[in-house]
Amino acid sequence: MDQAEHLDELLICRLDFAHKTVEPGTLVIFGASGDLTVRKLIPALYHLFVANQLPDPFRIVGFARRPKPDADWREELKEGIEKFSRTKKVDPEKWPAFAEKVTYCQGEFSDPGAYQKLEKLLSSFGNEALRRNLLFYLSTSPSQFAEVVEHLHESGLLAKADSGKFCQRIVVEKPFGHDLASAQKLNQELTRFAYEKQIYRIDHYLGKETVQNILMFRFSNSIFEQLWNRQAVDHVQITVSESLGVGSRGGYYEEAGALRDMVQNHLLQVLALVSMEPPVTLEAEAIRDEKVKLLKSIRPLLASQISSAVVRGQYIEGKIDGQPRIAYRREQKVAPNSKVETFVAARLLIDNWRWSGVPFYLRTGKSLPLSASEVRVQFRPTPNVLFAAQCGPKLDANAITLRLQPNEGISLRFNGKIPGTSLQLRPVRMHFSYDAEFGAYTPEAYERLLLEALAGDATLFIRRDEVEAAWTIVDPIREAWSGLELTEKEFYLAGSWGPKAADELLAARGHTWRNPQPIT
């Protein structure tokens, strides 16, 4: 370690001294034969195990309909790690100890007998914490959430209790409801059998390092925070673009569309973190209070405003990286005349002192030219004298870009003189890259989220009022689109940055999208 690195080490500010410890217990995954388990949950648990971050003792039980011997399930999981995990490797020396923790329990979600069977299995675990500290992960179809929780309660596995030596918690995957009314209903159903404190609603974006860093970046650096308001900021662009189409998820996507799949959760969460006020403490409730306050100050869109503030799109045949891509309507399990949006761009306004009048542009879509997520805070241009008077729009306004993924980093754009005898300016970039600074450590979002849920820390999960506030924002948009045929202008070529109308949305206020660039 050189001297500069040593000084940086000394300056590390540790904030997790009060972090709750992860107690021994059992994780029960409902819907264990689904994609999420094999692609995300088990790889995350395996990495936590290898990094000695799982409690000891610890067990994983997979609950699903199909009959399967433990050995077969373990083999499937191992293949999943090799195929989908961030390391794509299973250590032959460590695997047996991990595999031993994993058990399969076959049962129908609607069958009370299956929960008795689960109870029996848990009772066979010698340690009391393994039998009573339980984390139930609901990775089932959303229509089964309430039913599973009710059965868990009736079978005595889930006690409604907010304190005690042992505790049971529920993790609920998205989508949480399909509109405000269904989310409220689900909240009511779940809170019949568990306190809000026991419910962990997942949005995996909150588990991403770069998303967590938004608050650290804003509130631990006075130079940026002073500029983070309507006096200095012209507008903000949040882009989550994906180059993949819907692939095999057509059935789900036909019900969801980009608005429910991405905007209601991931984009609004990022928006809330970028624009919320500083919380009074770093505790879960303080942070979540500020997020809810922010979501509630987003100006509701009236039906008559939707067509000028929100753009939808659907991809048609095109090419990405030279490879032909089919139209959404030709994807598996998609109706040939589907009206479902695969792209959304929206202009939202926040009615509070900090942001009044500053447009926040949100954009997400499938089959776009590349997969990248960015927040771009675009500052106001300089006054129209000196350089700006002569260069006009060529004098780039300053911007901070938080690159959330991939090639995680933060860059600041400003203008600099091109060296030489002539007087010429051009934008230059100051860049911080996670990889260059901290090495290639990029844990999967689910690693962090599972650990937090096991520890009982709700900071990175969505509270009841938060999920409801988010539906309140998107519901009017969905209602305005419902039944409306897509017009020619709403289709976009796979491999393009969305329909033309998305550009017009910004042009109406003199703005242009800054598309994420591939960073090599």
Query: How many residues form the binding site for ligand BG6 (CB under 6 A)?
Result: 2
- Matching residue, tokens 């971050």: 53
- Give the H/E segment covering residue 56: none
**Cβ distance to ligand BG6 smaller for residue 88 or 120:** 88
Give the nearest distance from C-beta 242 to ligand BG6 in angstroms: 5
- Among residues 178, 204, 235, 266, which one is catalytic? 266
Q: Is 444 near ligand BG6 (CB under 6 A)? A: no
Give the nearest distance from C-beta 261 to ligand BG6 in angstroms: 5
- Rounded Cα distance between 95 and 56, Å, is 16
**Cβ distance to ligand BG6 smaller for residue 151 or 204:** 204
Contact positions with ligand BG6 (CB under 6 A) in 336-375: none
- Matching residue, tokens 């004298």: 385
Contact 367, 330 (CB under 8 A): no
Q: Is 510 exposed, middle or buried (0-12, 13-18, 19+ CB in 10 A)?
A: exposed
- Rounded Cα distance between 343 and 261, Å, is 11
Give the nearest distance from C-beta 125 to ligand BG6 in angstroms: 33
Alpha helices, H only, 142-197: 145-154, 180-193
Contacts of 364 (CB under 8 A, 6+ apart): 239, 240, 241, 242, 258, 262, 263, 266, 267, 343, 344
**One-character DSSP codes across 259-322:** IIIIIIIIIHHHHHHHHPPPPSSSSHHHHHHHHHHHHHTBPPPPHHHHHHHEEEEEEESEEETT
Give the nearest distance from C-beta 15 to ligand BG6 in angstroms: 25
Site string for ligand BG6, 377-416 (x = CB under 6 A): ----------------------------------------
- Give the H/E segment covering residue 350: none
Cis ω before 57 (30° cut-off from 0): yes
Give the nearest distance from C-beta 258 to ligand BG6 in angstroms: 8
Residue with smallest beta-carbon separation from ligand BG6: 261
Torsion 305-481-142-368 (CA) sign: negative
Give the nearest distance from C-beta 418 to ligand BG6 in angstroms: 37
**Cβ distance to ligand BG6 smaller for residue 28 or 262:** 262
**Cβ distance to ligand BG6 smaller for residue 245 or 279:** 245
- Rounded Cα distance between 396 and 159, Å, is 59
3-state secondary structure 379-394: ECCCCCCHHHHHHHHH
Encoded amino acid at 282, one letter: L
Of the candidate residues 173, 234, 261, 290, the single one contacting ligand BG6 (CB under 6 A): 261
Contact 469, 251 (CB under 8 A): no
- Matching residue, tokens 């005690």: 164
Give the nearest distance from C-beta 259 to ligand BG6 in angstroms: 12
CB atoms within 10 A of CB 462: 26
Q: Catalytic site residue 6?
A: no
3-state secondary structure 447-489: HHHHHHHHHCCCCCCECHHHHHHHHHHHHHHHHHHCCCCCCHH
Contact 371, 244 (CB under 8 A): yes
**Cβ distance to ligand BG6 smaller for residue 242 or 475:** 242
- Rounded Cα distance between 438 and 434, Å, is 6
**Cβ distance to ligand BG6 smaller for residue 158 or 470:** 470
Give the nearest distance from C-beta 270 to ligand BG6 in angstroms: 11
- Tokens at residue 426, please? 């051009």
Give the nearest distance from C-beta 42 to ligand BG6 in angstroms: 17
**Cβ distance to ligand BG6 smaller for residue 261 or 490:** 261
**Cβ distance to ligand BG6 smaller for residue 5 or 321:** 321
Give the nearest distance from C-beta 424 to ligand BG6 in angstroms: 39
Q: What CA dihedral angle connects 211, 214, 215 and 216, to 10 degrees?
A: 110
CB atoms within 10 A of CB 367: 30
Contacts of 438 (CB under 8 A, 6+ apart): none
**Cβ distance to ligand BG6 smaller for residue 35 or 465:** 35
**Cβ distance to ligand BG6 smaller for residue 242 or 452:** 242
Contact positions with ligand BG6 (CB under 6 A) in 196-255: 242
Residues that bind ligand BG6 (CB under 6 A): 242, 261
Residues identified as active-site: 266
